[in-house]
Amino acid sequence: MAERNATAAGKTNEAFVITRVLDAPRETVWKAWTEVERLKRWWGPKGFTVRVARLDLRPGGIFHYCLRAPDGSDMWGKFVFREIAAPERLVFVDSFSDETGNVTRHPMSPDWPLEMLSTVIFAQHGRGTAVTVHWLPLNATEAERKTFAAGHDSMNKGWGGTFEQLADYLAKA
């Protein structure tokens, strides 16, 4: 899915939007996204594991983490929270980072946007929860916006694997 968003400069960007319905109550899914010990059990693309994580869940707070890839390499990232509306919505700026939390370039894509505006919506769906992620480049150059637009297929795979790990965690929790 894609939606159009206007930027301050009047240009449009294609937002990446993905939704998954999970077989768990909204409060349980919210906790999986907002409690560090739960996040450590599922966060990241399929096959990746969380090696390090710290969470300060408040506007201006961060989630700083290190993912270990299946090949043994490490990849750092962080969220800087803008809005927390329990149990309905999280809004944060998402970026790759170094071990100390400084924003860095994507390790495999030098034209990937430095920052992404992420909005995660948690909606009751019967006895389960629909989770929708809206992802949009923030303060991106034209080259970064093009790279982002060209990456929607790989984002579907990455987020799909992340949702699979979340579903597996919730089934065991």
SS3 assignment, position 127: coil
42, pLDDT greater than 50? yes
Q: Which two tokens stand for residue 162?
A: 């992340």
13, pLDDT greater than 60? no
Residue 31 CB neighbours (<10 A): 17
Domain that holds residue 114: 2-172
CA distances in angstroms from 47 to 60, 109, 139, 140, 162, listed in the order given: 30, 20, 31, 29, 9
Whether this prediction's pTM lies above 0.85 is answered by yes
Counted domains in the chain: 1
Q: Look up the CATH number of the domain holding residue 160.
A: 3.30.530.20
Q: Answer whether 95's CB lies under 8 Å from 114's CB.
A: yes
Residue 142 or residue 173, greater confidence: 142
Q: Answer whether 102's CB lies under 8 Å from 113's CB.
A: no
Q: Which two tokens stand for residue 6?
A: 């206007």
Question: 77: left (phi > 0), else alpha (psi -120 to 50), else beta?
Answer: beta
Q: What is the mean pLDDT of the chain?
A: 92
Which range among 45-49, 113-117, 131-135 shows the weakest confidence by mean pLDDT? 45-49
